Structure formats: C-alpha cells, structure tokens
Chains A and B, each alone.
Chain A
Amino acid sequence: MIRGLYTAAAGLITGLRRQESLANNLANVNTTGYKADVNALRSFPAVLVTEVDGGPLPVRLPTAQLLGVLGTGVLFEERGIDFSQGPLVQTGRDLDLALQGDGFFVLQGPNGPVYTRDGHFLRDANGLLVNADGLPVLDVNGNPVVLGLGPVQVQQNGLLLQNNAAVAQLQVVSFPDGGLIRAGDNTFVPVGTLPAASNAAVFQGYLEQANVNTAELMTHLVTLARVYESSQRLLQMQNETLRKAVEEVGRLS
C-alpha cells in the first residue's frame, strides 16, 4: 500500500527499542563496572523508484522513467557496548579493585571463564577470592586466588601481597578485537575472539563506576520521545490520507 506507512512504523519500532536501551543504561547508573549500551541505527536499503506506467502498454518497462531513490525507514541494527573507561571512586576497602585502562578481571564461571570490570571482591569461607556471586577470581596461571586472614596489599601490576609476601598475580586480559557480549551480573563473555595481555593498572581501594553519561542520556530521552511522537503523527497522517481515498475519492454523489 502506501510505502510511507511502513517507513513511519519502522520509526516507531526503532524508537521503542532505543528506549529499552536508554532505560537499561539509566537503571545501571550506579552499577559498578557497568558498560553502557550504545545503539547503532541503519537505514533500510533504499530503493530505486521508477514510473511503471510511463509508456504505452505493450512496451511499458523499457520506457519506464527513473524517479530517484526512496528511503524505506530505519532499522535498529545493533545494541553495542561502550567499553570506555568509567570514573574510579575511592572506597578504601582493601579488596575493592579498579582497572584503569583496557582490561578485564577473569572469573571462573560455571561454563568457562567470564570477564568483568567490577572489582568488588570478597573472601569466601575458604579464603578464595571471589566476586559478589561467589565466582572465583583467577590468577595468571588460571587458578583461583586463595588468601589468608588479614589485610591484603595489591600492586598496580596486579600482584597480591600478604605480610609482605607475594600470594598471587591477578590475571588481567584485554580483547583488542572486541567481540564481547553481556553475560549478566556485570560479566562479559567473548564470541570468536581470544584474550590478549593487558597493561591496565590495578588500583586498590577503588571501584570503577558505570560509564553512563546521565546528562547525555536525559537529552536522548527527550529527543527520542519527540521523534517517536513525530513518527506517530506521520503514521496518523498516512492513515488519514488512506481514509480520504477510501471514503471520499470516487464517491458518486
């Protein structure tokens, strides 16, 4: 039917999807190590429009006039992740660790390693260094880190000391090629990419805050609501045009 109807509808669908992303980012403004969702939008393939009934009937196609290019709306393509550095905030707790630079802590998940920027760690009842969900933190050799009683010192290179003796070297890796997807609970898993060495510095007594820019998000929120409204109006106008075509054009009396 009218192409514009679908273009406007695509705008509405995309608007709601972007809103989901925004809402998710805003829900996580105070989540440690949270990395913001970013939206990639793409236009649907544009089509070349021709005037189909331009010539006399038997030879219609060869004489068809080219009218130009018509866009067919917008497509919400990808929910990507913005891995830029979040601000570090001092907590003073000796097992709160933050990464400055490109890198991730490695945790032992139920199905292989998972990666996180959330360095809020604890000791479990057996002295294992774990995250808030109890997943063990791994050292450079891929083994869980075990700590004894008492304070821990962590150096910027990820070396853990107790009573001035080295206990473990934390594993910190980076993914230069990207390819990470969310795995929930502040963790990520790689898809088709391998970890590489990282030169991120470990800061003890700090946590990395979410890299969500609230001021920017609030403006997006307002813009998005208005764009959504415009798409909705557009759809209504097309609907009105169709109504006129049905009810008024071709009326006999």
Chain B
Amino acid sequence: MSSALDASRSGMLRHQAFIDTVANNLANVNTTGYKRQKAYFQDVLTTEDFLRLVAATDADAVLATTAGVELSGIERIFSPGALALTGNPLDVAIAGEGFFQVLLPDGTVAYTRDGTFTRDADGRVVTANGHLLLGQAGPITLPANAARVSVGQDGAVVVELDDGSPPFTLATIQLARFINPEGLLSAGQNLLLASENSGPPVLGQPGANGFGRTVGGAVELSNVDVGEELTNMILAQRGFQFNLRAYQTTEEMLRQANDMNR
C-alpha cells in the first residue's frame, strides 16, 4: 500500500500537536512567569530510504514503519519575559537566569519563575498555591510584627519591625540554575521539577556568578508574544490543511485504482 497516506496522516497529527502548543501558549499569555512552549519536528525515514541506508552503511537502524514527520520534542523557551511593577513588596521577579526554589508538601523541591509570593497564616512566605519559598536557610518566616518587607537585588529579605528598630536582613532568597533548563519537567501550577535531562540544580545567590538579580515589587510576565503565536497558528493550520489535501488526493487516486475494472 502507498506510504503517501501514512505521511499525510503523520503530518496532520504533528501539526495538531503544533496547534495544541500554540493554544496552550495563548491561554497562558497573562500567566506570570510562564515560559512558552514550542514544537520541533523531524523527518521520518520511509521504508525506501531505510533500505538505501542499510545497503549503504550497514547501520542497524530501526525499520521505519511509516513515513512523514514526527515530533522531536515540545520544549520550553526560557527567554526572559517583561518585568511589571506591582507595588506588592512580596512580588519578586528574576532579571536574568535562575529559578526560585519552592518546597512541595511531599518534601521535593520544585522550581519556578513565578514570584507572586504572599504571607500565609503563620507568617511564612509562600507561592500563590501555598508552597514554601526556600531561602539559604530553608523556609522564610516573617515576624508577626513586621511593618515593612522588601527584597533587594541580592535576594536579601529586609524586614522593618513596627517597634522602630533599624531594618535587618531576615533571610536571603537562593536561586537555582540548570545546565539544561529545557530538560526540566512541568509539574503544573507554574512549577518545574529537576530531571535526569536537566542535570542537578546549581544553587547561588541572586546577582552573583551569572545568577539573575531579584527585583522586589515586580513580577515577570509570560514570554508569550501574541504576534508570534498567531503566526505560528497560521503555520500550524496551513500545515494541517496541506496534509489534509494530500491525504484526500491520495485517497482519490486509490479510489480510481479500485474503480478501474468497472
């Protein structure tokens, strides 16, 4: 049977995945700290190409059972998003490389660029979902009588108490970097987890050794560019249509072959 149908089918499926990533990015255009995703494609060996390859190189390649295109991956693009001032002292953005570390209820550490922190009932600094932010000395607990809190460029959480005593550094926010951030796994809620592909986290102080600076009173907006996503949507949609047309034409040709003896 003709591999043309296979090729067009794979084209439609992969372009569907492409459309899905675009839709996901557009849905998160206003999600703070969101990093957009992108689908990458690879060609697939046809049986014919495979036989040539084996004859030419003795390669022990896996027999291609289909033709067309496959996804090589859907990856996050970690380009910076714009910073927006919010005036909320516990909103922290990272200008440059690095991730905040947050403690999940099961004890694992997750990583995020979403710095919209708040104070929970016990005075601890938590994410919007209630996960603890980790400083150099573990979770950060603000004193009950803290009048003002600010975060410096080096990650220092400076607290001024309501008794008029001079401000002091309560804790320092620690950031994590990865050799391959594209290898981090999405865990939902704007959180990412380390994986075999990402490598272990490299910890450090904001503003030093290539780590980004922390900016208090601001959040990082998503790095989704609506214009680019709409362009991608057109590419994905037209790509789908091209493959659908090819599929229909092949189908028509095969129908004619079947009708030959009428």
Contact = CB atoms under 8 A, between A and B. Distances in A.
A111 B69 CA distance: 23
B3 interface: yes
Interface stretch (A19-27, A38-46, A164-172): A19-27
Nearest to A94: B79
Interface in A1-32: 12, 15-16, 19-20, 22-24, 26-32
Interface residues of B, number: 69
Contacts, number: 191
Interface string B21-60: 0000000000000000000111111101110110011111
B4 A16 contact: yes
Chain A facing B: main interface SS: mixed
Most chain B CB within a 10 A radius of its CB, from A23, A126, A217:
A23
Given A184-B45, A184-B64, A232-B257, A133 B72 contact: yes
Interface string A103-141: 000000011100000101011111100001100000000
Interface string A54-97: 00000000000000000000000001000000000001110000
Contacts of A126: 179, 199
Given A15-B253, A92-B79, A185-B42, A27 B69 contact: yes
B81 interface: no
A189 B45 CA distance: 13
Nearest to B46: A24
A22 B246 contact: yes
Nearest to A92: B79
A98 to B, nearest CB: 14
Contact of B72 (A123, A132, A224): A132
In this complex, the interface size class of chain A, counting residues with CB under 8 Å from chain B, is 35 or more
Given A93-B77, A182-B49, A232-B257, A19 B210 contact: no
B43 A34 contact: yes
A93 B37 CA distance: 12
